[in-house]
Amino acid sequence: MLTTALGRFRVIGIIEGISYLVLLGIAMPLKYFLDFPAAVKIAGSLHGLFFVLYILALAHVTFTNRWSVLKVAGAFLASLLPFGNFVLDARIKHEQA
């Protein structure tokens, strides 16, 4: 799966999606309800790293697989929505079948 640009994009997308959910669902409640701001600092930094990797992987798969502007915009939008990367991954997997 990691041997192709699309495979790497899918894996990074899942990791980025998980990091986003951890940031929103675990780290932010820890910060605001339990006064533990370090959780957001750590989870936010990791999510930022994974987001940059996601954008780089998106650029690579765009040029390698000649994705349309609309498909690239959809993939970028998916990264901004909770669970968006998982929906995108399911669509990509369905297209490959």
Q: What is the pLDDT at residue 96?
A: 87
Quote the pLDDT of residue 54. Answer: 98
Alpha carbon 41 to its chain centroid, in Å, reads 18
CA dihedral (9, 11, 16, 21) positive or negative: positive
pLDDT in tens, 87-97: 999 999 999 87
Kindly report, residue by residue over 10-69, the tens digit of the pLDDT: 999 999 999 999 999 999 999 999 999 999 999 999 999 999 999 999 999 999 999 999
CB 97 within 8 A of CB 90: no
- Tell me the mean pLDDT in the region 73-91: 97
- Rounded to whole angstroms, how far apart are CA atoms 77 and 51? 12
